[in-house]
Amino acid sequence: MTDAPRTPHPGLARSPFLAAARGEVPSHTPVWYMRQAGRSLPEYLKVREGIGMLESCMDADLVTEITLQPVRRYGVDAAIFFSDIVLPLKAVGVDLDIKAGIGPVVASPVRTLADVEAIPDLTPEHVPSIVQAVGQLVAELGATPLIGFAGAPFTVASYLVEGGPSKEHAKTKAMMFGAPDVWDALMSKIAGIAATYLRIQVQAGASAVQLFDSWAGALTPTDYRDSAMPYSRRVLAAAGELGVPRIHFGVGTGSLLGLMAEAGADVVGVDWRTPLEQAIPLVGDRAVQGNLDPTLVFAPTEVMTARAAEVVEAGRRAKGHIFNLGHGVIPSTDPGQLTALTDFVHGC
């Protein structure tokens, strides 16, 4: 595989999403939604019936169909590749599964340097279905950009150390504070895997990438700067060499937004807890993404759109603004509300 991405569709030059991500003036405020390809769509539930999550993520045709579903339904300005942040680990042989109602569960949590050394580095040969799916998607999407993604090192490390989702991240922090050599080895390993995974997606045709750090909000700014940010910086720097916009998003990261920007983001995702007018000065000369409260789609449509108008107006003060929810689409969301929301923002 060469270092150069495939030739992009000529229509991508007019993409509002890519223009906003690069700090240019788009034709309209672009919209996409985290977890737009997923559990809120009846067509998704139909095609996923009886098929496990990771099995779904490794079926190129199914990934293609699921990724396209919200683009067809909502008319969003970008597609997000349907996958999971632990898929690269599964691909290299880590014994894990995604259990319904729980999330990723790791059979043998990482505790020692030997455990880290047992995790292979990712190569394109580990993920042929990903290469195939991305290629199929960009052929179908045409002028609509595809966003590739990976999990940030801290979040992925937390799953590996805890053995699954955690509210306290106690084992993770115990390693971070008490076994810095193991922590550095683990975070370096994950950073390498994430960088390779993003490169594979971009070389296959993805037009942008997002690095998800779902659990970074569990860290103080000092601990994030010292023990997480250097590894995310490596991933984002590697993605930057590919010439595509880089989005960096975390949950509960209001106190970390400046650092997340410094880590190498072109666009900083902001969750719903931090108003955009507060976030924009923190991220510097960068675009922002977000950040309507995901629960507002359950309010009356006029309430939802009034709040969305406030987000759009606040976003005009940024170098660029991509409208999104402040976290992922909630499974019980009415797809009709997201259609109405998309149409409203496009008309602002």
133: tokens are: 């799916």
8 A C-beta contact, residue 161 and residue 110: yes
| Residue 48 falls in the annotated catalytic set | yes
| Residue 84 falls in the annotated catalytic set | yes
Question: Which residue pairs from 255-260 have beta carbons closer than 8 angstroms and sit at least 24 positions apart in sequence?
Answer: 255/220, 255/221, 256/216, 256/217, 256/219, 256/221, 256/224, 257/282, 257/283, 258/282, 258/283, 258/284, 259/221, 259/224, 259/225, 259/229, 260/213, 260/216, 260/229, 260/232
Catalytic residue among 35, 199, 234, 246: 35
| Residue 159 falls in the annotated catalytic set | yes
Catalytic residue among 59, 84, 97, 184: 84
Catalytic residue among 159, 197, 224, 231: 159
Cα–chain-centroid distance for residue 73?
21
Q: How many CA atoms, within 13 angstroms, populate the side-chain half-sphere of residue 306? A: 5
List phi, psi (to 5°) of 52: -65, 160
Please give the Cα distance from 338 to 38 (Å, whole number): 13
Catalytic residue among 6, 22, 39, 233: 39
- Name 329's Cβ contacts closer than 8 Å, sequence gap at least 6: 33, 34, 35, 36, 38, 39, 40, 294, 297, 338
Please give the Cα distance from 236 to 177 (Å, whole number): 24
Catalytic residue among 33, 44, 48, 213: 48
| Residue 35 falls in the annotated catalytic set | yes
126: tokens are: 């580990």
Please give the Cα distance from 89 to 170 (Å, whole number): 22
* C-alpha distance from residue 70 to each of 73, 177, 211 (Å): 5, 42, 21
Please give the Cα distance from 194 to 88 (Å, whole number): 8
Beta bridge partners of 115: none
8 A C-beta contact, residue 105 and residue 60: no
Catalytic positions, please? Answer: 35, 39, 48, 84, 159
